[in-house]
Structure 1
């Protein structure tokens, strides 16, 4: 590729606009050289205006001349490689703001002199016209020759406070007149040209609507008439004039219209339809004018497709992710990369393409200061554009331009291409017909799905349900497409086809009114296939997804889904999110739940695909719970108004499954609360902290629940205080605690809060566990407690209860607890929080029990935990299996039990 050498000032004359402007007045070449020496920014605009108004010109004429000088300067700096795209688009955008603000100030002063100031009928305060910049102006990315899209609004209705000869106007009439004068001042063509063309078509109801709208009118419009494409437009809305409190009030109206609280994948279909309409019009124009060249804005792979790619993710996620609400296309693309929503290499190439396309667009406009995006039809002008881009001719330019546009088109298709499967499917009319059942059966048979008759009945029942029949035709069509896609996925399974489809249809019935979720599954077939796989693997997973369909978003990115959690990053992000919602407890509760459920769901996906062992999964779930507990303690403390310390001298101690780092998906948390604080108000404050902590953890919100909390293991149980001082806890454990409480202490650990208290707790725990105990008495008490548990959990079936039956998990846990309590005095390493499997093996290595029996029992425990885990994934409450399945495994655990306790049984 031959690149044209860097242009001199004379090269700027490739722009006929600059050529004509220079030729009209002799001193303009000197002015141009002066203004192109350094970057052009908003600080220079008053000086620029003053330089053009020294001859006593009216503001309108001086502003137009300033605009022409600025345009010529930007073109010159750009073509001489002194300025990049950022300077060009931000300078012209800030100048548009300057033009609007300057003219409005003058016109408003004139109007006030004639009619008085507009006053709000409720606030009795002066009202101001708020000018909203839309489109590229809103994002500070305006084209050099672009229209400016504006919307005019004001806060309150009322009247002007006219006095004397002034004529009173309603606020609406006042601002309507002011708006018309502003448009004329900016856009009327005079001998000096214009400042900017003005387009008001984006206002509510477009050309048929009033020129200005009160906040009340805007709110009503959004609620009743606001259309999907207008959400896309209002993403860019930026207030150029107006008071900050009025602008903040307006933002509160705009936000719920533009952004949805939940992930909004339905917007993909809306933007796709909008894009189809735009493309159809471009194709019509291309058909009528085949001589025209490439349209770099609306053509295939053009600027608009890059903008759509950025904004679709803003509309999908912006309601939940504030960092995606930036009005700039370029900044939004960078955010998508930083957030790992799109691959950073893809974003780099999109930004390169966007920059190149915008530069080409500018050169098309530099030619004659015309708002065009289409290559001219004559070869001479095409080559002139290429020269301005630094190429020898248009053919050389196209060698770079066309690959950029192809790449943009490919990325656009990856998101927006209609994913509808064109294979043979059941359609909505077939489901509604008289022979619906027969039609469904025939289709199921063609897919080789087993038991087609019962599955057909299940599909028909879903379709005929009042929920589905009450839906719009469009939503029903989406449901039929999803049923067909699910059937195709289920047809590849060899087992549980009916169960899987039943779970999927239950889920579908649950989300039918949430079209965003339907759209997500249609737009991302791989997410639908993963949903079907998860439901085939686990009834618990299916029900979890039913409760939290918002988690569907987690299925989109395979890379993120399979990542090992970065706990430090997760904790930091959760902390930042909670701080961002400080003071809004309802939002904080939802943030905690959504964050916890999202990571839990990722672990569930990894689990179902066999990527983590049961032991590793338990470690991960326990770590996740630790972080949540820590964050809740900190956030609750911040919500207590009369706290006397920045950080509480308070610790959460975990017992049971969390204490032993053997947490499962639906486990309760067994906790106690300790404090060490001499302040006289400490007991009451920490009791309040503990109570609120439990409330935050257990409250059901729209986002669900975090954990059920059990505090029965606190000193003196249900009759004891909710929180204990560290000293009273130590006294209780040493002098008053029952043996079973010491058994429970073997699986206790510091979980969250003050680490110094945690360290002291560990010292107390170690001291208690290392007490000298009479072996015979210890055995008697262990056996007595075990009998009581068996009597409370009698198994009357022929199945083996993995948890409670002889040789089961509780027997093994009791064995480990006995070994710790009996031998920790001699072997202090047994007090370590290592888990049952590691502790059994350690006891074997120490010779406390036969090493081979220790290893075999550890393997039994691992096997029983795995069976229990798999059964719970199927939604079963009782973890029971056929006895023959575990007969060989439990030989070791029963033998070890008898070896240790035969003399007392």
Structure 2
């Protein structure tokens, strides 16, 4: 039985459309009836002939409003005829399924190109009709377009790969699935990656391949082979033929497109992104999705790239970069405000791009710490931001509704003539065409609805960068600085405080008032900041370089997640403001940490900060949590650097405010080194054994020497280490796939440890490492067998080497070997307790150092006569000669000296050492090479003088001279010059 057209087309929807010209629409419908008759589509011909029917009227309106869609229907009425039996959504799914099917080995290139183009055209027609009839919301439309693009890309890629195999360049594992195991994958970027493709969009693709997949018959030609595949893919999709094109294809989002091939190896891509990737590339990668090819390889690549996209700490620098990008777009396009006629609905103010940027900016800021924010789709990202409290629910709802409204407008603009345009018409009649495609009767109501949404979007987007001008409060001059910074009296006030580049400083302060940083965006935060300025600006003016200090503070403010609580906290707690100013003006090492990792200030806000001093168990627990989700060896090393940097900062800050005396600071810095070096050794051993196996019975222990050994590290100390090992006597080499002789094995293990500790990475180095205290120094092997260590210490070691052993202690390694090492050190010292030459050797060494290395100033506490070396040598001599017990090996010098005084009746030495320790810990926080009080910032110099109970530099210097003279007298009495 022949079905009539009375049941209508199964497109769905209830939206009625009005043509621009009724008579012209009727003509279109008559043409469709004739085309349907000629094209053997009788039901469509009957429908088109019944002009009074609802579907006929809607088809006529679409053809009149969109000449492009009308032309498709006239050329291919057979695409509409099946819709009397099958609904449009199901037919679209069938088209996509046909493209996703396994390739036919006999299909020629031209036949595939024709099939792809016809599939795209038919699916696009049906998607457009469902959109315009109101049967599909814009979400369904963009998903359908994206699925269609995925399927077309997949079909074209499978053909290109099969062709490369036929030419002998590739060896594919499964002809029915050419992409499986090929190592080549395609990333869809932008709207395609987010399943948000627009109606006439080009598609942004990046192709990468894994050379290790083994698909290339000649691995050396991998780049060339896969680049040919990529070029074939582009041709199949974008070349215009008599049947049109499938998708315009753009490969320019790949790394350095001017220099890099169109298909890149994944290792080269990762190197690029990690070393040179920019914030706009991070933003682009938010939406990246594997759309075709070897999916497991592609997903692994995206997972490995995740740390580049999603930074671990709050990343507000992304705001500046994305705002700059948007500003460049505005300048290039000539945008100067929200408008309707002639406006670019994608890139213009209040357009689609601002909604996308609004979400992406905040995703980049916080997505590293909150994985739930890592959504590809714009509306999903807005929803996640609302759930996480980053935006209000009202903002989410408004922006989501506006986004889909703007996407429908974008589709309507492109449906008119299938042009890749986002510009609304300038002529009222053409604007009416767009309005009626969207279901509006006239352009006036459409323009009103459009402007309402665009103005809201523009306001929301602008709110990320700036709000109202700073509120008038506090000192009038400072308020004017916040308002603009160009006033002469404001700059004069800065000059009176001691600033030199007052225009630059005023510009920084004005930036706070303009809300350029998130922390200064709210009026309440700026009000608190205005109240702080009278104390804040003078505080930073005390720095040696006030201009640099205020610039450093500006960098710190830029990293704050919010300003209201922070500024109010400083206002109510001047101690914290003083601490912050001290850190930035007095302690370059700590200030550098704040500049790179502003989140470390979080700990200073914690009330427990000034009282807490972590013990080893707590420090190890924190490090374990910090490393818990680290991926590979390199990430472990990177996180160790981050952890050490933060913890050194916290110890230094406590020291700077006097919450931690110098002796305890030395213990804290050393405890941190113990924990971090232990973890580094564990990571190195694990990675090394994975490559080279284990030596039978192999054991290692790490001996800390010098300041590390005696628990007296300072903020910038290097570490002296010695690696001791043991193994089964019959062992000759390791048991791994790349076996090494025993001595080579441990030498390379030591080299790997040195690199792990001292190789520069993003967060700098862990520690500068010195292995010169090992037996025979630089002439000896890097790693020392325990038997060789015993023999050397018993028979060959010099006095100075045994002196070094008095400040040694095992830090990590096999517990049994650690015990043996402790016993070996004690035995080496005890065996030479009665050496007659010891006194003369110690004295001679001190005087030789004095001749060769002159102190650079009064605060060169190490080298000055009667300084640290004198006291350290006395302590070491006391252990070597049995005046102090062997249980004092590896303890702080002041404790050794205290024990010596208790046993000998001496006095003043331990007290002098404690004084020097407090001073040297403070001085090492200051500028590198500081050797006199004027080298320090005023606040740090005052702190150093307070240690000496002095109010002036002259008095402090005199006190130091008196202490060092007394120490030198005792040194000469105990160890006379030879």
- Taking structure 2 as the reference length, the TM-score comes to 0.53
- Alignment match, 2:520: none
1:447 and 2:494 equivalent? yes
Cα distance 1:652–1:443, how it changes in 2: closer, same or farther (>3 A)?
A: same
Which SS does the other structure have where 1:240 is aligned?
strand
Q: Offset at 1:674?
A: 0.9
Which SS does the other structure have where 1:687 is aligned?
helix
Cα distance 1:305–1:761, how it changes in 2: closer, same or farther (>3 A)?
A: same
Picking from 651, 661, 672, the partner of 2:722 is 672
Q: Offset at 1:257?
A: 13
- Alignment match, 1:164: none
Cα distance 1:172–1:764, how it changes in 2: closer, same or farther (>3 A)?
A: closer
1:240 and 2:291 equivalent? yes
Residue by residue over 1:601-657, the C-alpha shift from the partner in whole angstroms, topping out at 9 and shown as x without a partner, is 676566556665534543444345442575268548846998341896333211111
Q: Offset at 1:658?
A: 1.1
Picking from 618, 643, 646, the partner of 2:666 is 618
- Alignment match, 1:868: 920
Which SS does the other structure have where 1:650 is aligned?
strand
Picking from 308, 311, 314, the partner of 2:361 is 308
- Counterparts of 2:208 and 2:973, CA distance in 1: 85
1:135 and 2:186 equivalent? no
- Taking structure 1 as the reference length, the TM-score comes to 0.57
- Counterparts of 1:34 and 1:69, CA distance in 2: 8
Picking from 521, 533, 544, the partner of 1:499 is 544
Cα distance 1:749–1:644, how it changes in 2: closer, same or farther (>3 A)?
A: same
Which SS does the other structure have where 1:492 is aligned?
helix
- Alignment match, 1:559: 602
Cα distance 1:329–1:259, how it changes in 2: closer, same or farther (>3 A)?
A: same
Q: Is the 8 A contact 1:808 1:893 kept in 2?
A: yes
- Alignment match, 1:163: none
Matches of residues 747-786 of structure 1 in structure 2 within 5 Å? Answer: 747-766=807-826, 771=830, 781=838, 785-786=842-843
Matches of residues 227-376 of structure 1 in structure 2 within 5 Å? Answer: 233=284, 236-238=287-289, 240-241=291-292, 267-273=321-327, 283-285=337-339, 298=351, 302=355, 304-311=357-364, 328=376, 345-347=388-390, 349=391, 354=396, 357-358=399-400, 361=403
- Alignment match, 2:24: none
Residue by residue over 1:791-822, the C-alpha shift from the partner in whole angstroms, topping out at 9 and shown as x without a partner, is 52266899476335576434444554466567
- Alignment match, 1:470: none
Matches of residues 353-502 of structure 1 in structure 2 within 5 Å? Answer: 354=396, 357-358=399-400, 361=403, 410=463, 413=466, 445-449=492-496, 455=500, 481=507, 492-493=537-538, 499-501=544-546
Cα distance 1:104–1:699, how it changes in 2: closer, same or farther (>3 A)?
A: closer
Q: Offset at 1:306?
A: 1.4
- Alignment match, 2:711: 661
Q: Is the 8 A contact 2:850 2:863 kept in 1?
A: yes
Instruction: Provide structure 1 residue ranges, at least 5 long, that are not aligned to the other structure.
Output: 1-11, 51-57, 157-168, 188-197, 383-393, 428-438, 460-476, 509-515, 583-587
- Counterparts of 1:492 and 1:779, CA distance in 2: 63
Moved more, 568-577 or 662-671: 568-577
Cα distance 1:149–1:305, how it changes in 2: closer, same or farther (>3 A)?
A: farther
Matches of residues 131-280 of structure 1 in structure 2 within 5 Å? Answer: 133-138=188-193, 140-142=194-196, 148-151=201-204, 175-176=234-235, 178-180=237-239, 233=284, 236-238=287-289, 240-241=291-292, 267-273=321-327
- Counterparts of 1:818 and 1:535, CA distance in 2: 41
Q: Offset at 1:668?
A: 3.1
Q: Is the 8 A contact 2:188 2:204 kept in 1?
A: yes
Cα distance 1:149–1:524, how it changes in 2: closer, same or farther (>3 A)?
A: farther
Q: Offset at 1:574?
A: 6.7
Q: Is the 8 A contact 1:607 1:617 kept in 2?
A: yes
Q: Offset at 1:875?
A: 2.9
Q: Is the 8 A contact 1:93 1:141 kept in 2?
A: yes
Residue by residue over 1:432-452, the C-alpha shift from the partner in whole angstroms, topping out at 9 and shown as x without a partner, is xxxxxxx9xx98644243678
- Alignment match, 1:788: 845
Q: Offset at 1:864?
A: 1.7
Q: Is the 8 A contact 1:90 1:141 kept in 2?
A: yes
Which SS does the other structure have where 2:928 is aligned?
coil
Moved more, 353-362 or 866-875: 353-362
Q: Offset at 1:747?
A: 2.1
Which SS does the other structure have where 1:558 is aligned?
helix
Which SS does the other structure have where 1:663 is aligned?
coil
- Counterparts of 1:443 and 1:309, CA distance in 2: 35
1:689 and 2:742 equivalent? no
Cα distance 1:301–1:103, how it changes in 2: closer, same or farther (>3 A)?
A: closer
Cα distance 1:879–1:345, how it changes in 2: closer, same or farther (>3 A)?
A: farther
* Pairs aligned (count): 735
Moved more, 790-799 or 705-714: 790-799
Q: Is the 8 A contact 1:653 1:671 kept in 2?
A: yes
Which SS does the other structure have where 1:285 is aligned?
coil
Q: Is the 8 A contact 1:330 1:351 kept in 2?
A: no
- Alignment match, 1:195: none
Which SS does the other structure have where 1:724 is aligned?
strand
- Alignment match, 1:536: 585
Cα distance 1:634–1:498, how it changes in 2: closer, same or farther (>3 A)?
A: closer
Q: Offset at 1:273?
A: 1.2
- Counterparts of 2:468 and 2:899, CA distance in 1: 55
Q: Is the 8 A contact 2:117 2:245 kept in 1?
A: yes
Picking from 150, 155, 168, the partner of 1:97 is 150
Q: Is the 8 A contact 1:118 1:170 kept in 2?
A: no
Cα distance 1:234–1:672, how it changes in 2: closer, same or farther (>3 A)?
A: closer
Cα distance 1:556–1:153, how it changes in 2: closer, same or farther (>3 A)?
A: closer
Residue by residue over 1:112-146, the C-alpha shift from the partner in whole angstroms, topping out at 9 and shown as x without a partner, is 9xxx98999999999999976332321x3427x76
Cα distance 1:576–1:147, how it changes in 2: closer, same or farther (>3 A)?
A: same
- Counterparts of 2:240 and 2:662, CA distance in 1: 72
Cα distance 1:862–1:346, how it changes in 2: closer, same or farther (>3 A)?
A: farther
Which SS does the other structure have where 1:447 is aligned?
helix
1:885 and 2:936 equivalent? no
Cα distance 1:149–1:632, how it changes in 2: closer, same or farther (>3 A)?
A: farther
Q: Is the 8 A contact 1:300 1:409 kept in 2?
A: no
Q: Offset at 1:308?
A: 3.4
- Counterparts of 2:411 and 2:779, CA distance in 1: 84
Q: Is the 8 A contact 2:338 2:349 kept in 1?
A: no
Residue by residue over 1:271-313, the C-alpha shift from the partner in whole angstroms, topping out at 9 and shown as x without a partner, is 3515867999695336999xx9xx9984899454113332578
Which SS does the other structure have where 2:544 is aligned?
helix
